[in-house]
Amino acid sequence: MAHPIESSTDEPSPRPRVVVVGPVNMDLFIRGEAPLDREQLNRWVGSPEVDLLVAGSIGYTLQVFARLDDDVVACAAVGSDAFGGHIRQALEAAGVNCERVVNATGETAIGIYMMLFGGFKRPLAIRLPGFEPWPDPPPLFEPGDPVPSLVHSGGLLHFPGMWHRGLAPALGRARAAGAMTSIDPQFPLVDKPAPWLPFADDAIRQSDVLLCDDLEAAMLFKTASLAGQIRSAHAAGSRIVAIKRGPHGVTVSDGRSSVEQPAVAIDPSRIHEAVGAGDAFDAGFLDAMVRGHDPATAARWGTAAASLTLTERGGAAGILDRGHVERQLALVPPARAPEPVG
């Protein structure tokens, strides 16, 4: 049964083991100012700031889990090119267990963020991976292994070839063994009309926690109503729902009541980019949940983690360690009073 949305003062539980399933890739950031006029742009040669970071639907989430001192295991695939080797080495250096990362034949995916026109997250171009993005079915844990505290999945909707395959049964087995399960399905990389729920309904049904942003929620459930999105998410099988609304904060529901957690106010002049902030929120929120906190307190941890990413590169570089996020909690605004879920 869901816990009511309320503040928690419980002591955190011991270090959790977290298994994360999904795609990893490289993110190429190009930051600067380019002309908006097409003729000028066609003649433009600039010297923008360029960064190449390990990312993907779960790359930042993995790294933030590690910085929160979780025992985190990646379940993904990397390519046979130089980027694949670099991803494995970088994740291991960040404290991520990569024993369940498989080597695949093909080119690693690259997300290219061309932030030359005033945006913090778009435009985006993507080279998709030349292989399936994670092992199917995902090897979450073997007989005799300790049951993970949490199994989290990210990026399912990106890959139609992975829909309705081994992920949902694997989540179901983990849940039956006592693990908390969660999913951030994200969005299709091809044009798909709403509702998106039929593409991921089996995996969502096996997930205790559903995390998505407000645009994704609107398309998942084909409704612009926040209350309607929450009701639909619970009806789809999720015990806890967190709908991320960018600078407007996050709405979290346990099926009985909901709470609105405002975002930390960041001066726009200090924002480096917004890429990965939602992934960091997922890690902060879920870490707090598996350590025994209630959803309202978890929303504060997720908000603190997300806010730290905005002024640094990507979705993990701004987070130094668990204490850094804990200190950031002092800047998280009070949540609005809980409201019944109709």
Query: In this structure, is residue 2 part of a structural domain?
Result: no
Model confidence band, residue 342 (pLDDT cutoffs 50, 70, 90): low
- Quick one: pLDDT band at residue 120, thresholds 50, 70, 90? confident
Does residue 79 belong to any structural domain of this protein? yes
Is 283's pLDDT higher than 90? Answer: yes
- Sign, CA dihedral 333-313-96-213, equals positive
Cβ–Cβ under 8 Å, residues 99 and 73: yes
Where does residue 290 fall: left (phi above 0), alpha (psi -120 to 50 degrees), or beta otherwise?
Answer: alpha
10 found inside a domain = no
Which pLDDT score is estimated for 14? Answer: 76
Average pLDDT over residues 278-302: 97
CATH number at residue 253: 3.40.1190.20
- The answer to the question of residue 62 being in a domain is yes
Does residue 75 sit within a domain?
yes
Share of the chain above pLDDT 70, in %: 96
Give the residue-averaged pLDDT of 131-147.
93
Q: Rounded to two decimals, what is the model's pTM?
A: 0.93
d(CA 293, CA 288): 5
Contact status, residue 148 vs residue 172, Cβ threshold 8 Å: no
Q: Which residues contact 87 (CB under 8 A, 6 or more apart)?
A: 24, 25, 26, 54, 59, 78, 108
Domain carrying residue 313: 17-340
DSSP state at residue 144? T
Q: What single-letter amino acid sits at 28?
A: L
CA separation, residue 318 to residues 14, 15, 278 (Å): 25, 22, 13
**Segment (H or E) for 151:** strand 150-154
Q: Is residue 5 part of a domain?
A: no
Read off the pLDDT of residues 172-191 as tens digits, 9 standing for 90 and up.
Answer: 999 999 999 999 999 999 99
Q: How confident is the model at residue 13 (pLDDT cuts 50, 70, 90)?
A: low
Neighbours of 199 (CB within 10 A): 18
For residue 8, is it within any domain?
Answer: no
Instruction: Let me know if residue 32 belongs to a domain.
Output: yes
If one counts the domains in the chain, the total is: 1
The pLDDT, as a whole number, for residue 271 is 84
